[in-house]
Amino acid sequence: MNAMKIHSAFATTEKGREQITPELIQTEKGGLTAVRLKFESELPLDKFSGIELLLEPCRADGFTAIYRHSEFWCRPAFCQSAQQIPPDTQCLLWQGGCLLPVCGDKYLCMVSGTPDGYIKLTLNTFCSGIRECDTTAFVLGEGENVHALIADCARLALEVMDSDTPLRESRRYPEIFEYLGWCSWDAFHIEVSEQKLLQKCDEFSEKNIPVRWAIIDDMWADTPGIEQAAGKERGEMMRIMHSCRLSSFKADKTRFPDGLDGCIEKLHARGLYVGMWHPTTGYWSGIAEDGQIARDMPQALIKTHRYSAKRAEYSESEQLVHAPDYESARTFYESFHAYLKDCGADFIKVDNQSFTHSFYHDVMPVGQAAENLHRAVDGSAEKFFDGALINCMGTSAENMWHRPQSCVSRCSDDFLPENRDWFTKHILQCSFNSMVQGVFHVCDWDMWWTDDTQAVKNSVLRAVSGGPIYVSDTLGRSRREILMPLCLEDGRILRCDKPAVPLLKCVFQNPESCKAPFMLQSTANGCAYVAAFNLDGENAAVCSDFSPRDIDGLCGDSFVLYEYFTNSATTVKADEKITVALADRDEFRLYALIPEKEITFLGLCGKMIAAKTLSDITPDSAVSAQGGELMFFSQKEVTAVYSDGKPAEFTKDGALYKASAGRGKITVCTEE
Average pLDDT, the chain: 96
Regarding whether 231 and 148 lie in a shared domain, the answer is no
Q: What is the pTM of this model?
A: 0.97
Regarding whether 614 and 554 lie in a shared domain, the answer is no
Mean pLDDT of 101-118: 96
Question: What CA–CA distance (Å, rounded) separates 376 from 399?
Answer: 13
User: pLDDT-based confidence at 5, cuts 50/70/90?
Assistant: confident
- Predicted local confidence at residue 365, as pLDDT: 96
Question: What CA–CA distance (Å, rounded) separates 668 from 672?
Answer: 13
Q: Which of 434, 457, 486 is the last residue of a domain?
A: 486
Q: In 3D, which of 186, 260, 189, 258 has the Cα closest to residue 222?
A: 260
Question: What CA–CA distance (Å, rounded) separates 331 from 337?
Answer: 10
Q: Which of 162, 191, 208 is the last residue of a domain?
A: 162
pLDDT digits (tens, 9 = 90+) for 202-229: 999 999 999 999 999 999 999 999 999 9
Q: Which of 596, 629, 644 is the last residue of a domain?
A: 596
Regarding whether 79 and 118 lie in a shared domain, the answer is yes
More confident residue, 671 or 355: 355
Question: What CA–CA distance (Å, rounded) separates 141 from 113?
Answer: 19
311 class by beta-carbon count within 10 Å (0-12 exposed, 13-18 middle, 19+ buried) = exposed
Residue 167 located in a structural domain: no
- Predicted local confidence at residue 651, as pLDDT: 97
| Pair 291, 247: CB distance under 8 Å | yes
Residue 169 located in a structural domain: no
Residue 170 located in a structural domain: no
- Predicted local confidence at residue 3, as pLDDT: 62
CATH label of the domain that carries residue 317: 3.20.20.70
pLDDT digits (tens, 9 = 90+) for 28-49: 999 999 999 999 999 999 998 8
CATH label of the domain that carries residue 530: 2.60.40.1180
Residue 370 located in a structural domain: yes
- Predicted local confidence at residue 311, as pLDDT: 76
Regarding whether 557 and 452 lie in a shared domain, the answer is no
Question: What CA–CA distance (Å, rounded) separates 450 from 11?
Answer: 53
Within 8 A by CB and 6+ apart from 491, the residues are 179, 180, 210, 211, 212
pLDDT digits (tens, 9 = 90+) for 437-452: 999 999 999 999 999 9
pLDDT digits (tens, 9 = 90+) for 501-546: 999 999 999 999 999 999 999 999 999 999 999 999 999 999 999 9
Q: State the CB neighbour count (10 A cutoff) for residue 555.
A: 10
Q: What is the DSSP letter of 637?
A: P
Question: What CA–CA distance (Å, rounded) separates 48 from 400?
Answer: 20
- Predicted local confidence at residue 418, as pLDDT: 84
Regarding whether 477 and 361 lie in a shared domain, the answer is yes
Regarding whether 510 and 402 lie in a shared domain, the answer is no
- Predicted local confidence at residue 307, as pLDDT: 85
Regarding whether 422 and 322 lie in a shared domain, the answer is yes
Regarding whether 607 and 577 lie in a shared domain, the answer is no
Regarding whether 626 and 539 lie in a shared domain, the answer is no
More confident residue, 174 or 671: 174
Residue 168 located in a structural domain: no
State yes or no: pLDDT of 1 exceeds 70: no
Residue 495 located in a structural domain: no
Regarding whether 19 and 122 lie in a shared domain, the answer is yes
Regarding whether 522 and 400 lie in a shared domain, the answer is no
Within 8 A by CB and 6+ apart from 321, the residues are 280, 281, 282, 286, 287, 301, 302, 304, 355, 359
- Predicted local confidence at residue 215, as pLDDT: 98
Regarding whether 100 and 207 lie in a shared domain, the answer is no
Q: Return phi, psi of residue 386, to 5°.
A: 55, 35
Question: What CA–CA distance (Å, rounded) separates 436 from 73?
Answer: 13
3-state secondary structure 404-447: CCCCEEECCCCCCCCCHHHHHHHHHHHHHHHHHHHHHCEEECCC
Mean pLDDT of 149-171: 98
Mean pLDDT of 388-413: 97
Q: What is the DSSP letter of 355?
A: G
Mean pLDDT of 470-478: 97
Domain that holds residue 92: 5-162
Mean pLDDT of 174-198: 97
Residue 497 located in a structural domain: no
Residue 566 located in a structural domain: yes
Domains: count for the chain:
4
